[in-house]
Amino acid sequence: MIILPAIDLKDKTCVRLYKGDFATAYKVADNAVTTAKNFEQAGAMWLHMVDLDGAKNGKPFNDDVIFDVKNNTNLHIEVGGGIRDMKTVDYYLENGISRVILGSAALSAPEFVKEAVKKYGKKIAVGIDAYDGKVAADGWLKTSTVGYIDLAKQMEDIGVEYIIFTDISTDGTLNGPNMNMLDKLNHSVGANIIASGGVSTIKDILGLYELGVYGAIAGKSIYSGTLDLRTAIQASQRISKTNMKNNPGFEDELERYFRKSDLIPAIIQEHATGEVLMLAYMNKESLRKTFETGYTWFYSRSRQELWNKGATSGHVQKVVSIHADCDNDTLLIKVVQTGNACHTGSHSCFFKKLI
């Protein structure tokens, strides 16, 4: 599951609201760039940013702050607030924002959403915010008669793949997400669901994972200290790796290990003895197949193809655990080795002693 720390902007300042009420806005951080860098250092790969003034006025207001964060971090950024025409969608996506969130437009202008999805596909998300199950709009200032699941189904029908759902009554309360509404939504549509509002502790993160949602947005809980971002990210990574087939966020998690290169070195170690057996390289596909099968797959740089260790010799490697180093650019894979690991017939490839 993907954890997305949040930065909400009002008058160029990082703020939080209580149940979406603009009158409750209070400052939570001095500088958006510094805050985003801290999130990145904690292991975040995505950042959720909302232009609250934009949401209220229907056009970007804090876009300079958003681009400042984009230009000073390596985070993928999704942006919401005031995006109500294709010109604004183009503006953000053509200038490096990874995903834009269409909120009020989903309710008032579904044809616009359809146009945006046709042009940008997965870079378009829809934010559905609800009071008592009914969709709110215009920066949560108005409530419609449309049910949140009805709107979600309509958005899925036009090709939307990401839905960010907020039960406004839980937002900023630290009382936990509305699990019942999220569960109903997740079982009603096939789109990736990102939970927003109310996330308070690791327990909430675990609960959301059990629901099978794609991601979770955390804001006030991080700023107030009830949720440690690094711990949440590490926990969600460990959990998701135990059952990747039921984890819709796995592909995005996989990406974090290939941000520097298309290939990542993998050190293979005998689980029982700690002996280092070999060094090989993995690309996304081979790492994915390693998770899927439970046996090691690598990428051959000379043949430029995938290969399954032991497929011809029978000297397979059953995976016990996979660890990443501190920089997420090297893997340590502990295995149960059948037979010898080296093609020379040696148990380990590291048999040439130099000193």
SS3 track for 85-133: CHHHHHHHHCCCCCEEEECHHHHHCHHHHHHHHHHHHHHEEEEEEEECC
**Are 324 and 331 spatial neighbours (Cβ–Cβ below 8 Å)?**
yes
What ranges make up the beta strands (E) of the chain? Answer: 2-10, 13-18, 21-29, 46-51, 76-80, 99-102, 124-131, 134-137, 142-147, 162-167, 192-196, 215-218, 264-270, 276-282, 297-300, 305-308, 317-324, 331-337
- Active-site entry in 8, 51, 63, 167: 8
8 in active site: yes
Structure tokens at 5: 């720390």
**Are 216 and 206 spatial neighbours (Cβ–Cβ below 8 Å)?**
no
Containing H/E element for 89? helix 86-93
Q: Give the residue from 218, 221, 172 showing the smallest Cα distance to 18.
A: 172
- Active-site entry in 51, 63, 129, 171: 129
Residue 127's identity, in one-letter code, is: G
The C-alpha atoms of residue 25 and residue 120 are separated, in whole angstroms, by 33
Q: Are strands 46-51 and 2-10 parallel, antiparallel or unpaired?
A: parallel
Q: Are strands 99-102 and 76-80 parallel, antiparallel or unpaired?
A: parallel
The C-alpha atoms of residue 119 and residue 93 are separated, in whole angstroms, by 11
Structure tokens at 89: 């969608």
183 in active site: no
Residue 119's identity, in one-letter code, is: K
Q: For residue 295, what is the DSSP state?
A: B
Tell me which residues are annotated as active site: 8, 129
